[in-house]
Chain A
């Protein structure tokens, strides 16, 4: 019988040896004894616990590095959008863009676009760039829910999990919207979060009435429509490299029906 090498024994100790090694150790007294000896040596070694850090250690580290963080360029923003999301959203966006183009051809913008050198542009652009993927994912979830007529039309467990993830990110985006003074986007995110929370906490065995309530919540605030309007604006602004700062308040658009 060919005995196991030390390397085999080490792999087995670290649970990476596989079934054959395990079987051999169970059957071969000599290898079993060697393994026991190895185990005694390795299991006896422990590292001392690192010294404890204070409660504010993370904040201290942040204060230490904050001045050293350079400004980041936002020039390559489009690479951040997952290509699949872009492809999936492209068709829907074309429809919405046509719709929005129609709206804007009827009246001039309320305010003239700001100059590209406007100092207020960068922080808003930050939000524009970061929000793209988030709104894409939120839109997909809302579309799934809005299209469900019965509980069996909807994989609620999956949607609840997605909603859970989206809620986690929402707070960060809202904070950024507040920081840059983007009231409209903040309000949209606030409204979106309320719906996402309802989806996240939808009962395990949702009834048709539960699903209907979710749909009504989405419809009543024209949430999908608002998201699409913001997406269109964002992409147009990103393309032109200029955020006009006059994005219409989505709340004023409630006379328009969602595309779906």
Chain B
């Protein structure tokens, strides 16, 4: 347990004991992290903000079920993922299109800098890619899309995805495979050959 986790555990103990205001440091620390997660799953800013609030309210209500085996941040991450999934199911949210790098850059997404001035050919190519990616995402079920985001963007293991979505690991793995296959199928016509 590191210093932050210890602080979180103390805050949780106080909240459980009835001090609502002890929940504040937890909310302030993790709001942005949860917003980013919710936005990535739903692709919608307003929905992501709503999910952040719902996550904390749900966490507060279920605080007695937090057993401390995982960190508070992991626990909140899981709740936020399920809130996002609920939101997708409830509103049939269409996710924002994924961004595609036509050069196949393997740099982690967060580190990419798009400094090149796109030429007309490149712009047209990107537009086609975006359309295909959008279509690919539309074809994914909410669970497939969530599994894909958790694995591809958040770097969660299949076991973690299974625990988060409360499914068996085989189910989580199949959801990821199906998502990858569907995305690849939609991208195949516009993928440039290697070299």
What residues of chain A have their CB less than 8 Å away from a CB belonging to chain B? 6-7, 10-11, 14, 16, 36-51, 53, 57-59, 61-62, 64-66, 68-74, 76-77, 79-80, 122-123, 125-130, 133-134, 164-169, 171-173, 176, 179
Assembled-state Cα–Cα distance A167/B61 (Å): 28
Residue of A nearest to B41 (CB): A47
Assess A44 versus B102: contact at CB under 8 Å? Given A74-B18, A129-B18. yes
Contacts of A167 in B (CB 8 A): 3
Instruction: Given A16-B157, A47-B40, decide whether A125 and B133 contact each other with a Cβ distance below 8 A.
Output: no
Cross-chain contact A126 with B39 (CB below 8 angstroms): no
Query: Are B187 and A58 neighbours in the complex by a CB distance under 8 Å?
Result: no
Which residue from B28, B29, B53, B181 sits with its C-beta under 8 Å from A6?
Answer: B181
- Is the Cβ of B10 less than 8 Å from the Cβ of A169? yes
14 further contact pairs, Cβ within 8 A, besides A45-B100, A65-B60:
A41-B191, A42-B184, A45-B99, A45-B133, A47-B109, A47-B149, A50-B35, A51-B45, A53-B31, A71-B20, A123-B19, A129-B16, A130-B17, A165-B6
Are B22 and A42 touching (Cβ within 8 A)? no
Closest A residue, CB atoms, query B35: A53
Minimum Cβ distance to chain A for residue B151 (Å): 6
**With A64-B53, A164-B3 given, is the CB distance from A44 to B103 under 8 Å?**
yes
Give the complex CA separation of A156 and B152 in angstroms.
41
B20 CB, nearest partner CB in chain A, Å = 5
In the bound complex, residues from chain B placing their C-beta under 8 Å from that of A37 are: 194
Chain A residue at smallest Cβ distance from B3:
A168
Most chain-B CB neighbours within 10 Å: which of A48, A58, A128, A133?
A58
- Give the distance in Å from the alpha carbon of A53 to the alpha carbon of B18 in the complex: 30
Q: Are B36 and A50 in contact (CB under 8 A)?
A: yes
User: A40 CA to B98 CA in the complex, in Å?
Assistant: 15
Q: Closest Cβ of chain B: how far from A41's Cβ, in Å?
A: 5
Q: Are B10 and A6 in contact (CB under 8 A)?
A: no
Bound complex: CA A40 to CA B100 (Å) = 11
Please, which residue of chain A has its CB at the minimum distance from the CB of B154? Answer: A47
* A36 close to B3 (CB less than 8 A): no
Q: How far is the CB of B191 from the nearest CB of chain A, in Å?
A: 6
Scoring A64, A123, A125 by chain B CB atoms within 10 A of each residue's CB, the highest score goes to: A64
Establish whether residues B13 and A43, one from each chain, have CB atoms under 8 Å apart when the complex forms: no
